[in-house]
A and B are shown apart, each in its own frame.
Chain A
């Protein structure tokens, strides 16, 4: 598995594509490979299903977590000054989890002077099963607006096609084919095709994108009963 090489990796995309699930998984994977890793929850759009909600899992995996506003629960976007440290700490690799859509990428404008000084990747997450992500034209439009709003060029695609709890191997294979054609059309590298871990063995060797196995962290409250301890054990301690 090839992991990010740059000091900063920015993760963007249409909302609901699964940026946050991917960012949390990637951060935990990087920290598990003995890299000094930070995750910046820079979502200034949405107060629900944020990477900060998995702060405890991230920190116990060794990931340093930064968050906007009042621990991510306030409706008022605010950028605390400690986020600036990710641009100067060259010994640390940081993931920036942006809010959805071009409007979520706007916050990057604030960090423009800092981004001029460091090496970074800007990855764009797609999910074929999102109705506004289903054609090359729709993705191109969203991506171009994202680039215009952030002032930064996207450097790679992440295929995170899934259908929630109704994901099947067929959905994943179709998504992988689709993402490969989008990548070719947009002349961008397809960095990963994410696959929920239970499908990884079945799909290994059948994907065009590099398989990135995903564990589900951004689950819904009623799905907690399906967890037997694992990384949510602390939530169930009573």
Chain B
């Protein structure tokens, strides 16, 4: 099939429909409003449900309900809207329900700006809601990857019965890029059964119960420990990352999303000056690929590690955990909606190398 030119947000929506999503609940907010707009046009064509809720809080609780009833369900928003969803996400994690949540990030805090940013890294990876829970978080860096990861997101959500988040800065939602639809659309009848879903007993079985309330401390502890074991399994099995020119590099950039592309461009500028810079790009930011990053940073050739982010420095905490002090770690980035230039990123690399 010929490649097509897609806008990030509409590609997210189309990819979700192709991945078998048949329920979408959301509320418009820039820079992700094309997602509900596209869903409103196209979901009815496949017999799905599009519902513009009265608020983001309502949307995430509709996700809880539809997922409990066994639907492939998604919601999307942008930073302030995702803050509103946090309570629901905590409940969904505790109730062990699959869902896909997309955050097309804008500058914060508060109402912030509508321009692109990555200030929700902590919120996504540490949990903006209460309690011991985790969500798998994908951070795609181009529209083809957004499309390719969408089916995986729904599959992992079903497999582990938990939310999978996809976070990207507004630039990825708003820009246009060529897309190839590599995988055939999911057939609903091929999806695995959900024997835990509340689909009605028809008098044939005991009722399924979906719940996040465990009054008895022992039962609550057991529940937490079971979730913890699940998260440990995911940490061991679901890390994803990409490296570019990191072997024998003098400097390693670490970046996710748009800054990874800025870092690649900066690396090319540095190459012209004889500096070999590589880029380590986590694709899952939870679970974070700590060991892979350590291996890259611990190479004898590496003199410095520079994280590039569109915030004031959040992922740098994970980079420091990964690097374990074996190499100096520094930060370059801008927050609040301004995208750094490759030249600024290259300058930070020179500084880190003392040149």
Contact = CB atoms under 8 A, between A and B. Distances in A.
A214 B325 CA distance: 50
B178 A236 contact: no
B4 A131 contact: yes
Interface in B251-274: 258, 261-262, 264-266, 268-269
B105 to A, nearest CB: 13
Interface string B164-187: 000000110011111000000000
Given A73-B114, A127-B5, A48 B171 contact: yes
Contacts of B5: 16, 127, 129-131, 162-164
A127 B3 CA distance: 13
Nearest to B340: A221
A82 interface: no
Contacts of A127: 5
Contacts of A25: none
A15 B178 CA distance: 15
Interface residues of A, number: 29
B41 to A, nearest CB: 9
B273 to A, nearest CB: 13
Nearest to B34: A15
Looking at chain B's contact residues, is the secondary structure mostly helix, strand, loop, or mixed? Answer: mixed
Contact of A238 (B171, B178, B265, B344): B344
A225 B31 contact: no
Nearest to A232: B341
A16 B7 contact: yes
A47 B269 CA distance: 30
A47 B78 CA distance: 14
Nearest to A221: B339
Given A129-B4, A222-B261, A238-B343, A164 B178 contact: yes
Interface in A41-68: 46-49
Contacts of B174: 46, 48-49
Contact of B178 (A47, A48, A163): A163
A208 interface: no
Nearest to A130: B5
A118 interface: no
A73 B344 contact: no
Looking at chain A's contact residues, is the secondary structure mostly helix, strand, loop, or mixed? Answer: loop
A75 interface: yes
B30 interface: yes
Contacts of B261: 220, 222
B228 to A, nearest CB: 39
A235 interface: yes
B255 to A, nearest CB: 11
A236 B343 contact: yes
Greatest chain A CB density within 10 A among B5, B114, B266, B269 is at B5
Nearest to A236: B343
Contacts of A130: 4-5
B169 to A, nearest CB: 11
Given A47-B115, A75-B30, A236-B343, A222 B3 contact: no
Interface in B330-346: 339-344
Interface in A210-225: 220-225
A22 B343 CA distance: 27
A222 B31 contact: no
A166 B4 contact: no
Greatest chain B CB density within 10 A among A73, A164, A165, A166 is at A164
Contacts of B340: 221
A222 B342 contact: yes
Given A220-B175, A221-B340, A238-B343, A73 B113 contact: yes
In the complex, the 9 A-B pairs of residues with the closest C-beta atoms, listed nearest first? A225-B265, A48-B174, A225-B342, A222-B261, A221-B339, A222-B265, A129-B5, A166-B178, A131-B4
11 contacts: A16-B5, A48-B115, A49-B174, A129-B4, A130-B4, A164-B178, A221-B171, A221-B341, A223-B265, A225-B268, A236-B341
Interface of B: 2-7, 30-31, 113-116, 170-171, 174-178, 258, 261-262, 264-266, 268-269, 339-344, 347
